């Protein structure tokens, strides 16, 4: 067996980091999208949905150039950390967050919007603060949507390729993810190794998704009853 376990550990770390940050960032954004009455809200929604249609090469280009050492933003980052975003794990995390943002925000926003407003109003009339209402009423009722958002952003990051190829620099243990490893093996005629790695990735992703969707079903059946 010639599986490079380091790439699997790295890819899992990347996917976990990105989906954790996306939940934290995605919840308030989704809440705002679901409940704001602002007339121009659709513009923000469009910006958030952009990565779905944008090729990863565009994001890669921006991380390299707009966040590179010749831009003010890039120089600020360098003065902060001492190195460029490209070729670092942090660079991959930022690229992936932008790339997967709609996959986290959209299901969560849809779930929030589907919560019966009368229940939220009832919670408020009973004296609960908006924050308490959110954590005791809105969020628990939206759990399936939140889980879907986490699962999708996780899966999307696991399978990410274009952004990583453009900004990663293929450094073992830092930016060489499973998808890059598979690509390299195919280019170097190592079909056996590529196949073993690909099968393992498939099984792993299936197991993870099946676990989440299994939980999802339970949430549908028992969640609202509790």
| Number of residues counted as binding another protein (CB under 8 A) | 19
Q: How does DSSP classify residue 83?
A: S
Beta carbon nearer to another protein, 13 or 184? 184
- 24-54 in b/e form (b: 16+ CB < 10 A) is eebbebbbebbbeeeeeeeeeeeebeebeee
**Residue 31 or 77 with smaller CB distance to another protein:** 77
Of the chain, the end-to-end C-alpha distance in Å amounts to: 48
Per-residue tokens: 56 = 């990863």
- 115 — phi, psi (to 5°)? -70, 135
Residue 58 binds another protein (CB under 8 A):
no
Smallest separation, CB 212 to another protein (Å): 33
* CA 99, 101, 102, 104 torsion-angle sign: positive
Minimum Å gap between C-beta 138 and another protein is: 41
Contacts with another protein in 70-129 (CB under 8 A)? 70, 74, 83-84, 86-87
Instruction: Determine the distance from the C-alpha atom of residue 214 to the mean position of all C-alpha atoms in its chain, rounded to a whole number.
Output: 20
Closest separation in Å from C-beta 160 to another protein: 16
Query: x/- binding map, residues 143-162, to another protein, per CB under 8 A?
Result: --------------------
Query: What SS3 class is residue 99?
Result: helix
Residue 140 within binding range of another protein, rule CB under 8 A: no
C-alpha–C-alpha distance, residues 141 and 143, integer Å: 6
Site for another protein in 168-207 (CB under 8 A): 169-171, 184, 186-189
Nearer to another protein, 47 or 65 (CB): 65
Site for another protein, rule CB under 8 A: 64-65, 68-70, 74, 83-84, 86-87, 165, 169-171, 184, 186-189
């Amino acid at each position: 067996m010639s599986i490079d376990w380091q790439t699997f550990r790295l890819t899992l770390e990347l996917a976990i980091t990105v989906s954790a940050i996306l939940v934290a960032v995605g919840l308030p954004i989704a809440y705002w999208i679901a409940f704001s009455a602002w007339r121009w809200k659709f513009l923000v929604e469009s910006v958030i949905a952009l990565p779905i249609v944008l090729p990863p090469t565009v994001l890669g280009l921006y991380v390299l150039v707009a966040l590179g050492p010749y831009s003010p933003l890039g120089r600020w980052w360098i003065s902060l950390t001492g190195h460029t975003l490209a070729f670092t794990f942090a660079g991959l995390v930022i690229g992936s967050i932008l790339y997967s943002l709609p996959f986290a925000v959209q299901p969560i926003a849809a779930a929030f919007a589907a919560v019966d407003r009368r229940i939220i109003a009832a919670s408020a009339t009973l004296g609960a603060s908006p924050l308490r209402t959110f954590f005791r009423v809105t969020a628990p009722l939206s759990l399936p949507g939140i889980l879907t958002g986490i699962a999708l952003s996780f899966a999307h990051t696991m399978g990410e390729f274009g952004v990583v190829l453009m900004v990663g620099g293929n450094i073992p243990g830092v930016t060489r993810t499973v998808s890059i490893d598979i690509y390299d093996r195919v280019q170097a005629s190592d079909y056996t190794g590529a196949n073993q790695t690909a099968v393992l990735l498939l099984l792993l992703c299936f197991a993870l998704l099946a676990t989440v969707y299994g939980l999802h079903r339970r949430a549908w059946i028992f969640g609202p009853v509790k």
